[in-house]
Amino acid sequence: MLRFLCLSLLIALAGPLAAQPRPPMPQHQQAADAVWEVMDLDSLAPILQAEALAEGAEMAATLFKGRGTGRWLDRVGAIHHPGRIRALFLSGMAAAMPGADPAEVRAGLEFYRTGFGQRMLALESSARVAMLDADVEAAAREAFAQARSQGSSRAARIERLIETADLVESNVAGGLNAAIAFSRGFQAGGGFPMPMSEGEIIADAWAQEPQMRADAENWIGAYLFLAYSSLSDAQLDAYIAYAGSAGGQALSRLMFAGFDAVFARTSHDMGLAAAAEVRARQL
């Protein structure tokens, strides 16, 4: 579970939000439930909600220019309620299960049943919570940048992990998905002064791609550098090997599918909520 953690589907492959997936088979739903439990996603969901609230507060300061109805952050919190995140994730992962090799998924999940795997999850969660503090995030970014400039072996290992797990490309794709979903919601809610075509919405998202890529590279590197600071080189090498294994890759693809479902829906709903907020402020 490696942040921005989430999305791997390119927007060109994403269906319209109105399309409903086929109901998952019971065995696929059970497998998704097992992933949720082993990966301790009950601990992650409240962190995602806290991150969304922090980003929502920043959005309010720019998009709404400091004027508030007092309901915006309540809406953001409800959209990202941990129970809702769980339901969306399980639905998205279960829908992706038919395309996965069950043996590979089991092998990937088995790693996280070990003490070392559980330690990795705990380190990642702790770092995400810590980086909700802007000062901690700035310090982590500076530490990673300095380590890279000095050619440290630890920074090189973090970069190798990022490449092995394909984190930057996956998260750039996720950022594009989220931006387009948000704009579609904002459009549906009447937030734009002049309606935008679908082509304009997609072009606007792609215009943000260079900045998304830079943000992903910087944030992910700083986050992992902080999260794994207590690991030995041998332990980090073992984790890199796992990330590149068939099992690690299979589980990662399913995790991305689950979070793609989460953020496609929540981003769209954030757009709707933002449009409603804008309209209310114009009255």
CA atoms of 94 and 82, how far apart (whole Å)? 18
232: CB partners within 8 A, 6+ apart: none
Instruction: Count how many domains the chain has.
Output: 1
Does residue 244 contact residue 108 with C-beta atoms inside 8 Å? Answer: no
Q: Is residue 19 part of a domain?
A: no
Per the CB < 8 A criterion, the answer to whether 261 and 92 are in contact is: yes
Q: Tell me the residue range of the domain where 109 lies.
A: 24-282
- Residue 5 inside a domain? The answer is no
pLDDT for the residue numbered 225: 97
pLDDT given at position 282: 66
User: 15 lies in a domain?
Assistant: no
Instruction: Answer whether residue 269 is part of any domain.
Output: yes
From the list 209, 154, 141, 198, the residue with the least C-alpha distance to 176 is: 209
Q: Which of 175, 171, 184 is nearest to 17 (CA)?
A: 184
Taking 3-state DSSP, the helix, strand and coil percentages for the chain, each rounded to the nearest 5, stand at 75, 0, 25
Which pLDDT score, from 0 to 100, does residue 24 have?
57
Q: Is residue 105 domain-resident?
A: yes
Measured at the CA of 7, the angle between CA 4 and CA 11, to 5 degrees, comes to 130
Angle of helix 246-282 relative to helix 72-79, nearest 10 degrees? 150
Residue 2 lies in a domain: no
d(CA 171, CA 220): 9
- State the pTM of this model: 0.85
Asked if residue 14 is part of any domain, the answer here is: no
Pairwise CA distance, residues 208 & 68, whole Å: 27
Residue 31, pLDDT score? 86
Question: What confidence score (pLDDT) does residue 269 get?
Answer: 97
Tell me, yes or no, whether 45 lies in a domain. Answer: yes
Q: Which residues of the chain have pLDDT under 70?
A: 1-25, 66-69, 282-283
Q: What is the tens place of the pLDDT at every residue in 110-162?
A: 999 999 999 999 999 999 999 999 999 999 999 999 999 999 999 999 999 99
